[in-house]
Structure 1
Protein backbone atom coordinates (compact mmCIF):
# COMPACT_ATOMS: atom_id res chain seq x y z
CA UNK A 1 0.00 0.00 0.00
CA UNK A 2 1.39 3.40 -1.01
CA UNK A 3 1.89 6.31 1.37
CA UNK A 4 -1.13 8.24 2.58
CA UNK A 5 -1.68 11.96 2.84
CA UNK A 6 -3.65 13.53 5.67
CA UNK A 7 -5.53 16.67 4.73
CA UNK A 8 -7.87 18.33 7.22
CA UNK A 9 -8.13 15.03 9.13
CA UNK A 10 -9.04 13.12 5.93
CA UNK A 11 -6.72 10.25 4.93
CA UNK A 12 -5.99 10.17 1.20
CA UNK A 13 -4.24 7.29 -0.55
CA UNK A 14 -1.57 7.75 -3.21
CA UNK A 15 -0.45 5.44 -5.99
CA UNK A 16 2.31 5.37 -8.61
CA UNK A 17 2.23 3.60 -11.99
CA UNK A 18 4.61 3.86 -14.93
CA UNK A 19 6.20 7.01 -13.55
CA UNK A 20 2.88 8.81 -12.93
CA UNK A 21 1.86 9.80 -9.40
CA UNK A 22 -1.82 9.49 -8.56
CA UNK A 23 -3.94 10.71 -5.65
CA UNK A 24 -7.24 9.06 -4.67
CA UNK A 25 -10.03 11.52 -5.44
CA UNK A 26 -12.55 9.10 -3.93
CA UNK A 27 -10.85 9.72 -0.57
CA UNK A 28 -10.91 13.44 -1.31
CA UNK A 29 -14.64 13.31 -2.08
CA UNK A 30 -15.23 11.76 1.36
CA UNK A 31 -14.18 15.09 2.86
CA UNK A 32 -17.24 16.65 1.21
CA UNK A 33 -19.68 13.76 1.71
CA UNK A 34 -18.53 10.24 2.73
CA UNK A 35 -21.84 8.69 1.57
CA UNK A 36 -21.92 10.16 -1.96
CA UNK A 37 -18.37 9.95 -3.32
CA UNK A 38 -19.43 8.50 -6.70
CA UNK A 39 -22.06 11.21 -7.20
CA UNK A 40 -19.56 13.94 -6.31
CA UNK A 41 -16.98 12.62 -8.79
CA UNK A 42 -19.71 12.13 -11.42
CA UNK A 43 -20.90 15.71 -11.02
CA UNK A 44 -17.34 16.94 -11.41
CA UNK A 45 -16.80 14.83 -14.54
CA UNK A 46 -19.94 16.07 -16.30
CA UNK A 47 -18.76 19.67 -15.96
CA UNK A 48 -17.58 21.15 -19.28
CA UNK A 49 -14.52 22.82 -17.72
CA UNK A 50 -13.50 19.47 -16.24
CA UNK A 51 -13.79 17.69 -19.61
CA UNK A 52 -11.71 20.37 -21.31
CA UNK A 53 -9.05 20.21 -18.57
CA UNK A 54 -8.85 16.40 -18.73
CA UNK A 55 -8.70 16.44 -22.53
CA UNK A 56 -5.92 19.03 -22.70
CA UNK A 57 -3.91 17.16 -20.04
CA UNK A 58 -4.21 13.91 -22.01
CA UNK A 59 -3.22 15.58 -25.29
CA UNK A 60 -0.09 16.94 -23.61
CA UNK A 61 0.88 13.73 -21.82
CA UNK A 62 -0.71 10.75 -23.57
CA UNK A 63 0.19 9.95 -27.22
CA UNK A 64 -2.51 7.22 -27.31
CA UNK A 65 -5.35 9.53 -26.30
CA UNK A 66 -8.44 9.39 -28.56
CA UNK A 67 -9.32 13.01 -29.48
CA UNK A 68 -12.47 12.01 -31.42
CA UNK A 69 -14.12 10.52 -28.33
CA UNK A 70 -12.95 13.55 -26.37
CA UNK A 71 -14.68 15.90 -28.80
CA UNK A 72 -17.87 13.86 -28.43
CA UNK A 73 -17.82 14.17 -24.62
CA UNK A 74 -17.01 17.88 -24.84
CA UNK A 75 -20.00 18.49 -27.11
CA UNK A 76 -22.33 16.82 -24.61
CA UNK A 77 -20.83 18.29 -21.45
CA UNK A 78 -23.14 20.68 -19.64
CA UNK A 79 -26.38 19.16 -20.91
CA UNK A 80 -28.81 18.06 -18.23
CA UNK A 81 -28.90 14.55 -19.70
CA UNK A 82 -25.11 14.16 -19.81
CA UNK A 83 -23.49 11.77 -17.34
CA UNK A 84 -19.96 10.37 -17.23
CA UNK A 85 -18.00 8.02 -15.00
CA UNK A 86 -14.24 7.72 -14.68
CA UNK A 87 -14.40 4.21 -16.09
CA UNK A 88 -16.30 5.40 -19.20
CA UNK A 89 -13.83 8.24 -19.74
CA UNK A 90 -10.85 5.87 -19.48
CA UNK A 91 -12.31 3.16 -21.73
CA UNK A 92 -13.58 5.50 -24.46
CA UNK A 93 -10.62 7.87 -24.73
CA UNK A 94 -7.68 5.70 -23.59
CA UNK A 95 -6.98 8.22 -20.85
CA UNK A 96 -4.14 7.66 -18.35
CA UNK A 97 -4.75 10.67 -16.12
CA UNK A 98 -7.50 8.82 -14.25
CA UNK A 99 -7.45 5.27 -12.88
CA UNK A 100 -10.43 3.29 -11.64
CA UNK A 101 -9.26 0.67 -9.13
CA UNK A 102 -11.28 -2.15 -7.62
CA UNK A 103 -10.70 -4.04 -4.38
CA UNK A 104 -10.05 -3.09 -0.79
CA UNK A 105 -8.01 -0.01 -1.69
CA UNK A 106 -10.08 0.77 -4.76
CA UNK A 107 -11.57 4.01 -5.94
CA UNK A 108 -10.88 6.66 -8.54
CA UNK A 109 -7.32 7.95 -8.66
CA UNK A 110 -6.16 11.05 -10.56
CA UNK A 111 -2.73 12.22 -11.67
CA UNK A 112 -1.57 14.80 -9.14
CA UNK A 113 -2.29 17.88 -11.31
CA UNK A 114 -5.78 16.57 -12.08
CA UNK A 115 -6.25 15.74 -8.39
CA UNK A 116 -5.36 19.32 -7.47
CA UNK A 117 -7.98 20.51 -9.98
CA UNK A 118 -10.57 18.25 -8.34
CA UNK A 119 -9.52 19.62 -4.94
CA UNK A 120 -10.27 23.15 -6.18
CA UNK A 121 -13.75 22.01 -7.12
CA UNK A 122 -14.28 20.64 -3.60
CA UNK A 123 -12.74 23.54 -1.67
CA UNK A 124 -9.99 26.10 -2.22
CA UNK A 125 -8.90 25.57 1.38
CA UNK A 126 -8.77 21.80 0.83
CA UNK A 127 -6.62 22.27 -2.30
CA UNK A 128 -4.07 24.45 -0.51
CA UNK A 129 -3.71 21.99 2.36
CA UNK A 130 -3.49 19.09 -0.13
CA UNK A 131 -0.63 20.74 -2.04
CA UNK A 132 1.20 21.48 1.21
CA UNK A 133 0.80 17.89 2.43
CA UNK A 134 1.87 16.46 -0.93
CA UNK A 135 5.01 18.60 -0.90
CA UNK A 136 5.79 17.41 2.63
CA UNK A 137 5.50 13.80 1.48
CA UNK A 138 7.85 14.42 -1.48
CA UNK A 139 10.42 16.05 0.82
CA UNK A 140 10.20 13.10 3.20
CA UNK A 141 10.70 10.65 0.32
CA UNK A 142 13.68 12.66 -0.92
CA UNK A 143 15.32 12.58 2.51
CA UNK A 144 14.75 8.82 2.74
CA UNK A 145 16.23 8.39 -0.75
CA UNK A 146 19.35 10.25 0.36
CA UNK A 147 19.67 7.97 3.39
CA UNK A 148 19.19 4.85 1.23
CA UNK A 149 21.86 6.02 -1.25
CA UNK A 150 24.37 6.49 1.57
CA UNK A 151 23.41 3.15 3.14
CA UNK A 152 23.90 1.39 -0.21
CA UNK A 153 27.21 3.20 -0.69
CA UNK A 154 28.38 1.80 2.63
CA UNK A 155 27.28 -1.68 1.55
CA UNK A 156 29.09 -1.43 -1.80
CA UNK A 157 32.25 -0.24 -0.12
CA UNK A 158 31.92 -3.17 2.27
CA UNK A 159 32.16 -5.54 -0.73
CA UNK A 160 35.50 -3.94 -1.62
CA UNK A 161 36.49 -4.25 2.01
CA UNK A 162 35.62 -7.99 2.23
CA UNK A 163 37.44 -8.72 -1.06
CA UNK A 164 40.59 -7.21 0.45
CA UNK A 165 40.17 -9.39 3.55
CA UNK A 166 39.77 -12.52 1.41
CA UNK A 167 42.84 -11.71 -0.68
CA UNK A 168 45.22 -10.57 2.06
CA UNK A 169 44.12 -12.08 5.40
CA UNK A 170 42.58 -15.48 4.76
CA UNK A 171 44.92 -18.45 4.10
CA UNK A 172 43.56 -21.23 1.90
CA UNK A 173 43.66 -23.74 4.76
CA UNK A 174 41.12 -21.93 6.94
CA UNK A 175 37.69 -23.49 7.46
CA UNK A 176 34.50 -21.62 6.47
CA UNK A 177 33.82 -21.01 10.18
CA UNK A 178 37.24 -19.41 10.59
CA UNK A 179 36.67 -17.29 7.49
CA UNK A 180 33.35 -16.06 8.89
CA UNK A 181 35.10 -15.24 12.16
CA UNK A 182 37.71 -13.14 10.35
CA UNK A 183 35.04 -11.26 8.43
CA UNK A 184 33.21 -10.60 11.69
CA UNK A 185 36.39 -9.41 13.34
CA UNK A 186 37.10 -6.95 10.51
CA UNK A 187 33.51 -5.69 10.64
CA UNK A 188 33.89 -5.15 14.39
CA UNK A 189 37.20 -3.38 13.77
CA UNK A 190 35.20 -0.75 11.87
CA UNK A 191 32.44 -0.82 14.48
CA UNK A 192 34.93 -0.17 17.27
CA UNK A 193 36.68 2.59 15.31
CA UNK A 194 33.43 4.46 14.64
CA UNK A 195 30.88 3.39 17.27
CA UNK A 196 33.14 2.28 20.12
CA UNK A 197 31.39 -1.08 20.51
CA UNK A 198 31.25 -4.42 18.69
CA UNK A 199 28.09 -5.69 17.02
CA UNK A 200 27.52 -8.14 19.90
CA UNK A 201 27.94 -5.41 22.52
CA UNK A 202 25.49 -3.17 20.68
CA UNK A 203 22.89 -5.96 20.54
CA UNK A 204 23.23 -6.56 24.29
CA UNK A 205 22.69 -2.86 24.94
CA UNK A 206 19.76 -2.60 22.49
CA UNK A 207 17.85 -5.86 22.82
CA UNK A 208 14.54 -4.33 21.75
CA UNK A 209 15.89 -2.66 18.60
CA UNK A 210 15.49 -4.28 15.18
CA UNK A 211 18.43 -4.65 12.78
CA UNK A 212 22.01 -3.78 13.68
CA UNK A 213 23.83 -0.64 14.74
CA UNK A 214 24.47 0.37 11.13
CA UNK A 215 20.74 0.35 10.43
CA UNK A 216 20.37 2.92 13.22
CA UNK A 217 23.32 5.07 12.11
CA UNK A 218 22.75 8.67 11.07
CA UNK A 219 23.76 10.08 7.68
CA UNK A 220 27.11 11.41 8.97
CA UNK A 221 28.03 8.03 10.44
CA UNK A 222 27.13 6.24 7.21
CA UNK A 223 29.29 8.61 5.16
CA UNK A 224 32.17 8.12 7.60
CA UNK A 225 31.66 4.34 7.59
CA UNK A 226 31.89 4.22 3.80
CA UNK A 227 35.21 6.09 3.98
CA UNK A 228 36.54 3.85 6.76
CA UNK A 229 35.73 0.70 4.79
CA UNK A 230 37.69 1.98 1.80
CA UNK A 231 40.62 3.02 3.99
CA UNK A 232 40.66 -0.30 5.85
CA UNK A 233 40.83 -2.16 2.55
CA UNK A 234 43.83 0.03 1.63
CA UNK A 235 45.50 -0.63 5.02
CA UNK A 236 44.97 -4.38 4.61
CA UNK A 237 46.62 -4.31 1.19
CA UNK A 238 49.56 -2.52 2.78
CA UNK A 239 49.90 -5.35 5.31
CA UNK A 240 49.25 -3.14 8.36
CA UNK A 241 48.38 -5.24 11.48
CA UNK A 242 44.84 -5.05 12.85
CA UNK A 243 45.76 -3.23 16.08
CA UNK A 244 47.54 -0.47 14.14
CA UNK A 245 44.67 -0.27 11.69
CA UNK A 246 42.19 0.17 14.54
CA UNK A 247 44.16 3.13 15.90
CA UNK A 248 44.42 4.74 12.45
CA UNK A 249 40.74 4.14 11.68
CA UNK A 250 39.66 5.55 15.03
CA UNK A 251 41.73 8.69 14.40
CA UNK A 252 40.16 9.03 10.94
CA UNK A 253 36.66 8.53 12.39
CA UNK A 254 37.21 11.24 15.01
CA UNK A 255 38.59 13.62 12.39
CA UNK A 256 35.83 13.01 9.84
CA UNK A 257 32.97 13.09 12.33
CA UNK A 258 34.35 16.35 13.75
CA UNK A 259 34.38 17.90 10.26
CA UNK A 260 30.90 16.60 9.40
CA UNK A 261 29.46 17.80 12.70
CA UNK A 262 31.06 21.23 12.23
CA UNK A 263 29.61 21.44 8.73
CA UNK A 264 26.16 20.51 10.02
CA UNK A 265 26.36 23.19 12.71
CA UNK A 266 27.37 25.77 10.11
CA UNK A 267 24.49 24.82 7.82
CA UNK A 268 22.04 24.95 10.69
CA UNK A 269 23.12 28.49 11.53
CA UNK A 270 23.32 29.51 7.84
CA UNK A 271 27.00 30.32 8.22
CA UNK A 272 29.87 29.03 6.05
CA UNK A 273 31.83 26.19 7.57
CA UNK A 274 35.34 26.91 8.85
CA UNK A 275 37.68 25.31 6.27
CA UNK A 276 40.21 24.59 9.03
Structure 2
Protein backbone atom coordinates (compact mmCIF):
# COMPACT_ATOMS: atom_id res chain seq x y z
CA UNK A 1 0.00 0.00 0.00
CA UNK A 2 1.21 3.52 -0.79
CA UNK A 3 2.56 5.35 2.21
CA UNK A 4 0.97 8.57 3.42
CA UNK A 5 3.12 11.44 4.66
CA UNK A 6 2.17 13.88 7.40
CA UNK A 7 4.08 16.77 8.92
CA UNK A 8 4.02 17.50 12.65
CA UNK A 9 5.74 20.52 14.16
CA UNK A 10 7.74 19.95 17.33
CA UNK A 11 9.29 23.03 18.96
CA UNK A 12 9.17 24.84 15.61
CA UNK A 13 10.86 21.94 13.78
CA UNK A 14 8.85 20.15 11.05
CA UNK A 15 8.99 16.36 11.39
CA UNK A 16 7.82 14.00 8.64
CA UNK A 17 5.73 10.99 9.66
CA UNK A 18 5.15 8.23 7.10
CA UNK A 19 2.17 6.01 7.74
CA UNK A 20 0.58 2.92 6.23
CA UNK A 21 -2.01 0.50 7.63
CA UNK A 22 0.44 -1.26 9.89
CA UNK A 23 3.28 1.03 10.98
CA UNK A 24 4.37 4.61 11.56
CA UNK A 25 7.88 5.73 10.64
CA UNK A 26 9.28 9.09 11.72
CA UNK A 27 12.10 10.97 9.98
CA UNK A 28 14.97 11.02 12.48
CA UNK A 29 16.96 13.24 10.11
CA UNK A 30 14.35 15.90 10.88
CA UNK A 31 14.62 15.16 14.60
CA UNK A 32 18.41 15.59 14.40
CA UNK A 33 17.82 19.22 13.45
CA UNK A 34 16.69 19.81 17.04
CA UNK A 35 20.23 19.22 18.29
CA UNK A 36 21.97 22.52 18.90
CA UNK A 37 25.28 21.85 17.20
CA UNK A 38 27.18 22.63 14.05
CA UNK A 39 26.97 19.01 12.90
CA UNK A 40 24.92 18.02 9.89
CA UNK A 41 21.78 16.03 10.65
CA UNK A 42 23.22 13.02 8.81
CA UNK A 43 26.32 13.11 11.03
CA UNK A 44 24.17 13.25 14.16
CA UNK A 45 22.38 10.09 13.04
CA UNK A 46 25.67 8.38 12.20
CA UNK A 47 27.18 9.24 15.61
CA UNK A 48 24.07 7.88 17.34
CA UNK A 49 24.45 4.62 15.43
CA UNK A 50 28.06 4.26 16.65
CA UNK A 51 26.88 3.90 20.26
CA UNK A 52 26.74 0.37 21.68
CA UNK A 53 23.54 1.12 23.63
CA UNK A 54 21.92 2.19 20.36
CA UNK A 55 22.98 -1.02 18.63
CA UNK A 56 21.71 -3.12 21.55
CA UNK A 57 18.34 -1.36 21.34
CA UNK A 58 18.09 -1.74 17.56
CA UNK A 59 19.07 -5.41 17.65
CA UNK A 60 16.56 -6.19 20.40
CA UNK A 61 13.78 -4.41 18.50
CA UNK A 62 14.60 -6.35 15.32
CA UNK A 63 14.69 -9.68 17.15
CA UNK A 64 11.19 -8.99 18.49
CA UNK A 65 9.55 -7.82 15.26
CA UNK A 66 11.72 -9.08 12.40
CA UNK A 67 12.00 -12.87 11.92
CA UNK A 68 14.52 -12.34 9.10
CA UNK A 69 16.93 -10.24 11.17
CA UNK A 70 20.56 -11.44 10.98
CA UNK A 71 21.61 -11.55 14.62
CA UNK A 72 25.15 -12.77 13.92
CA UNK A 73 25.86 -9.83 11.62
CA UNK A 74 24.54 -7.39 14.24
CA UNK A 75 27.14 -8.70 16.71
CA UNK A 76 29.83 -7.53 14.30
CA UNK A 77 28.55 -3.97 14.70
CA UNK A 78 28.40 -4.22 18.50
CA UNK A 79 32.00 -5.43 18.75
CA UNK A 80 33.24 -2.33 16.93
CA UNK A 81 31.16 0.15 18.93
CA UNK A 82 33.28 2.86 20.52
CA UNK A 83 36.23 2.51 18.16
CA UNK A 84 37.34 5.75 16.51
CA UNK A 85 37.41 3.99 13.15
CA UNK A 86 33.84 2.75 13.56
CA UNK A 87 31.58 5.05 11.52
CA UNK A 88 28.69 2.92 10.28
CA UNK A 89 25.93 4.25 8.08
CA UNK A 90 22.26 3.40 8.37
CA UNK A 91 22.40 1.80 4.91
CA UNK A 92 25.22 -0.50 6.03
CA UNK A 93 23.23 -1.56 9.11
CA UNK A 94 20.18 -2.31 6.96
CA UNK A 95 22.06 -4.13 4.20
CA UNK A 96 24.17 -6.32 6.49
CA UNK A 97 21.54 -7.23 9.11
CA UNK A 98 18.37 -7.16 7.00
CA UNK A 99 16.89 -4.66 9.48
CA UNK A 100 13.39 -3.23 8.98
CA UNK A 101 13.25 -0.71 11.84
CA UNK A 102 15.14 1.89 9.80
CA UNK A 103 15.08 2.83 6.14
CA UNK A 104 16.66 5.54 4.00
CA UNK A 105 14.62 7.56 1.54
CA UNK A 106 16.43 9.37 -1.25
CA UNK A 107 15.42 12.60 -2.93
CA UNK A 108 14.36 16.11 -2.00
CA UNK A 109 12.12 15.02 0.86
CA UNK A 110 14.27 12.08 1.86
CA UNK A 111 16.17 11.21 5.00
CA UNK A 112 16.50 8.40 7.50
CA UNK A 113 13.17 7.11 8.78
CA UNK A 114 12.72 4.98 11.91
CA UNK A 115 9.83 3.02 13.32
CA UNK A 116 8.14 5.13 15.98
CA UNK A 117 9.62 2.99 18.80
CA UNK A 118 13.11 3.67 17.50
CA UNK A 119 12.41 7.31 16.63
CA UNK A 120 11.37 8.03 20.22
CA UNK A 121 14.59 6.38 21.44
CA UNK A 122 16.61 8.56 19.04
CA UNK A 123 14.78 11.65 20.30
CA UNK A 124 15.90 10.76 23.85
CA UNK A 125 19.50 11.00 22.69
CA UNK A 126 18.81 14.43 21.22
CA UNK A 127 16.83 15.87 24.12
CA UNK A 128 14.47 14.26 26.68
CA UNK A 129 12.35 17.41 26.56
CA UNK A 130 12.13 17.28 22.77
CA UNK A 131 11.13 13.61 23.02
CA UNK A 132 8.17 14.50 25.24
CA UNK A 133 6.95 17.15 22.80
CA UNK A 134 7.48 14.75 19.91
CA UNK A 135 5.33 12.08 21.58
CA UNK A 136 2.66 14.67 22.34
CA UNK A 137 2.45 15.88 18.73
CA UNK A 138 2.57 12.32 17.39
CA UNK A 139 -0.33 11.35 19.65
CA UNK A 140 -2.23 14.41 18.46
CA UNK A 141 -1.74 13.25 14.87
CA UNK A 142 -3.00 9.76 15.71
CA UNK A 143 -6.05 11.19 17.50
CA UNK A 144 -6.89 13.28 14.45
CA UNK A 145 -6.62 10.22 12.22
CA UNK A 146 -8.80 8.22 14.61
CA UNK A 147 -11.42 10.99 14.63
CA UNK A 148 -11.52 10.89 10.83
CA UNK A 149 -11.83 7.12 10.84
CA UNK A 150 -14.70 7.34 13.32
CA UNK A 151 -16.53 9.79 11.06
CA UNK A 152 -15.97 7.52 8.07
CA UNK A 153 -17.06 4.48 10.06
CA UNK A 154 -20.24 6.19 11.29
CA UNK A 155 -21.13 7.20 7.72
CA UNK A 156 -20.72 3.64 6.43
CA UNK A 157 -22.64 2.36 9.42
CA UNK A 158 -25.56 4.66 8.70
CA UNK A 159 -25.67 3.89 4.98
CA UNK A 160 -25.59 0.14 5.50
CA UNK A 161 -28.47 0.32 8.04
CA UNK A 162 -26.88 -2.46 10.01
CA UNK A 163 -26.74 -0.81 13.44
CA UNK A 164 -28.43 -3.79 15.07
CA UNK A 165 -25.75 -6.18 13.80
CA UNK A 166 -22.85 -4.42 15.52
CA UNK A 167 -21.92 -6.34 18.63
CA UNK A 168 -18.93 -6.40 20.96
CA UNK A 169 -17.54 -9.64 19.52
CA UNK A 170 -17.08 -9.36 15.77
CA UNK A 171 -18.17 -12.31 13.65
CA UNK A 172 -15.07 -14.40 13.06
CA UNK A 173 -14.64 -15.24 9.38
CA UNK A 174 -12.23 -18.05 10.13
CA UNK A 175 -12.04 -21.36 11.97
CA UNK A 176 -10.44 -21.37 15.42
CA UNK A 177 -7.78 -24.02 16.24
CA UNK A 178 -8.95 -26.19 19.14
CA UNK A 179 -5.64 -26.93 20.85
CA UNK A 180 -5.39 -25.33 24.30
CA UNK A 181 -2.13 -23.43 24.06
CA UNK A 182 -2.64 -21.72 27.42
CA UNK A 183 -2.48 -25.01 29.34
CA UNK A 184 0.03 -26.93 27.22
CA UNK A 185 3.08 -24.65 27.03
CA UNK A 186 5.42 -26.97 25.09
CA UNK A 187 5.08 -24.74 22.01
CA UNK A 188 6.73 -21.87 23.90
CA UNK A 189 10.23 -23.32 23.64
CA UNK A 190 10.26 -22.84 19.86
CA UNK A 191 7.87 -19.89 19.54
CA UNK A 192 8.84 -16.58 17.99
CA UNK A 193 7.87 -13.41 19.79
CA UNK A 194 5.00 -12.74 17.38
CA UNK A 195 3.40 -16.05 18.39
CA UNK A 196 3.85 -15.35 22.08
CA UNK A 197 1.64 -12.32 21.49
CA UNK A 198 -0.74 -14.23 19.20
CA UNK A 199 -1.42 -16.93 21.78
CA UNK A 200 -1.72 -14.44 24.63
CA UNK A 201 -4.38 -12.51 22.70
CA UNK A 202 -6.07 -14.90 20.27
CA UNK A 203 -5.34 -18.23 21.94
CA UNK A 204 -3.42 -19.89 19.09
CA UNK A 205 -0.29 -19.57 16.93
CA UNK A 206 -0.12 -18.11 13.44
CA UNK A 207 0.88 -21.53 12.06
CA UNK A 208 -2.14 -23.24 13.63
CA UNK A 209 -4.42 -20.59 12.15
CA UNK A 210 -2.88 -20.99 8.68
CA UNK A 211 -3.21 -24.77 8.77
CA UNK A 212 -6.92 -24.68 9.57
CA UNK A 213 -7.65 -21.70 7.28
CA UNK A 214 -5.60 -22.43 4.12
CA UNK A 215 -7.86 -20.41 1.81
CA UNK A 216 -7.45 -17.26 3.90
CA UNK A 217 -3.76 -17.79 4.68
CA UNK A 218 -2.73 -17.19 1.09
CA UNK A 219 -3.01 -13.42 1.29
CA UNK A 220 -3.77 -12.58 4.93
CA UNK A 221 -3.16 -13.55 8.55
CA UNK A 222 -5.22 -13.75 11.71
CA UNK A 223 -4.40 -10.17 12.67
CA UNK A 224 -6.15 -8.97 9.51
CA UNK A 225 -9.39 -10.31 11.03
CA UNK A 226 -8.89 -8.81 14.49
CA UNK A 227 -11.37 -6.35 15.96
CA UNK A 228 -10.39 -2.78 16.83
CA UNK A 229 -10.35 -3.77 20.49
CA UNK A 230 -8.04 -6.71 19.81
CA UNK A 231 -5.65 -4.54 17.79
CA UNK A 232 -5.59 -1.98 20.61
CA UNK A 233 -4.68 -4.65 23.14
CA UNK A 234 -2.09 -6.11 20.75
CA UNK A 235 -0.33 -2.75 20.55
CA UNK A 236 -0.20 -2.58 24.35
CA UNK A 237 1.12 -6.14 24.56
CA UNK A 238 3.97 -5.31 22.18
CA UNK A 239 5.06 -2.48 24.47
CA UNK A 240 4.84 -4.62 27.62
CA UNK A 241 6.71 -7.48 25.96
CA UNK A 242 9.55 -5.25 24.77
CA UNK A 243 10.01 -3.89 28.29
CA UNK A 244 10.03 -7.37 29.85
CA UNK A 245 12.62 -8.56 27.32
CA UNK A 246 14.84 -5.67 28.38
CA UNK A 247 14.36 -6.77 31.99
CA UNK A 248 15.61 -10.24 31.09
CA UNK A 249 12.40 -12.13 31.90
CA UNK A 250 12.11 -15.59 30.36
CA UNK A 251 9.54 -16.44 27.71
CA UNK A 252 7.21 -18.44 29.97
CA UNK A 253 6.99 -15.69 32.56
CA UNK A 254 6.38 -13.08 29.86
CA UNK A 255 3.65 -15.18 28.22
CA UNK A 256 1.73 -15.66 31.47
CA UNK A 257 1.89 -11.94 32.23
CA UNK A 258 0.88 -11.00 28.68
CA UNK A 259 -2.05 -13.45 28.78
CA UNK A 260 -3.30 -11.88 31.99
CA UNK A 261 -2.96 -8.37 30.55
CA UNK A 262 -4.72 -9.36 27.31
CA UNK A 263 -7.66 -10.97 29.12
CA UNK A 264 -8.12 -8.00 31.42
CA UNK A 265 -7.78 -5.24 28.81
CA UNK A 266 -9.96 -6.98 26.24
CA UNK A 267 -12.67 -7.54 28.86
CA UNK A 268 -12.64 -3.84 29.80
CA UNK A 269 -12.74 -2.64 26.19
CA UNK A 270 -15.49 -5.07 25.16
CA UNK A 271 -17.64 -4.15 28.15
CA UNK A 272 -17.25 -0.44 27.38
CA UNK A 273 -18.12 -1.02 23.72
CA UNK A 274 -21.15 -3.10 24.66
CA UNK A 275 -22.47 -0.29 26.85
CA UNK A 276 -21.93 2.26 24.06
CA UNK A 277 -23.73 0.03 21.56
CA UNK A 278 -26.72 -0.31 23.90
CA UNK A 279 -26.89 3.45 24.35
CA UNK A 280 -26.72 4.04 20.60
CA UNK A 281 -29.49 1.51 19.93
CA UNK A 282 -31.80 3.34 22.36
CA UNK A 283 -31.19 6.72 20.70
State the TM-score, normalized to the length of structure 2: 0.54
- SS of the aligned residue for 2:87 comes to coil
2:137 alignment partner in structure 1 = 133
Q: How does 1:93-242 map to 2 (within 5 A)?
A: 93-157=97-161
1:38 alignment partner in structure 2 = 42
CA-atom RMSD, angstroms? 2.4
Unaligned runs of 5+ in 1: 158-271
1:60 alignment partner in structure 2 = 64
Partner residue of 1:76 out of 70, 75, 80: 80
Q: Distance in 2 between matches of 1:111 and 1:67?
A: 19
1:264 alignment partner in structure 2 = none
Partner residue of 2:28 out of 1, 25, 30: 25
Matched residues, number: 162
Structure whose CA Rg is larger:
1
CA positional deviation for 1:155: 3.9
The Cα offsets for residues 165-216 of structure 1, whole Å up to 9 and x where unpaired, read as xxxxxxxxxxxxxxxxxxxxxxxxxxxxxxxxxxxxxxxxxxxxxxxxxxxx
Partner residue of 1:3 out of 2, 6, 24: 6
Q: Distance in 2 between matches of 1:34 and 1:132?
A: 27
Partner residue of 1:51 out of 50, 55, 72: 55
The Cα offsets for residues 69-92 of structure 1, whole Å up to 9 and x where unpaired, read as 101001111111101111111111
**Cα 1:109–1:125 shift into 2, 3 Å:** same
Q: Distance in 1 between matches of 2:123 and 2:52?
A: 17
State the TM-score, normalized to the length of structure 1: 0.55
The Cα offsets for residues 203-252 of structure 1, whole Å up to 9 and x where unpaired, read as xxxxxxxxxxxxxxxxxxxxxxxxxxxxxxxxxxxxxxxxxxxxxxxxxx
CA positional deviation for 1:4: 1.2
2:254 alignment partner in structure 1 = none
CA positional deviation for 1:154: 3.6
Q: Distance in 2 between matches of 1:2 and 1:82?
A: 33
CA positional deviation for 1:18: 6.6
Q: Distance in 2 between matches of 1:46 and 1:20?
A: 26
The Cα offsets for residues 28-68 of structure 1, whole Å up to 9 and x where unpaired, read as 11122586011100000001110110000000110000011
The structure with the largest helix share of the pair is 1
Partner residue of 1:85 out of 89, 95, 105: 89
- SS of the aligned residue for 1:52 comes to helix
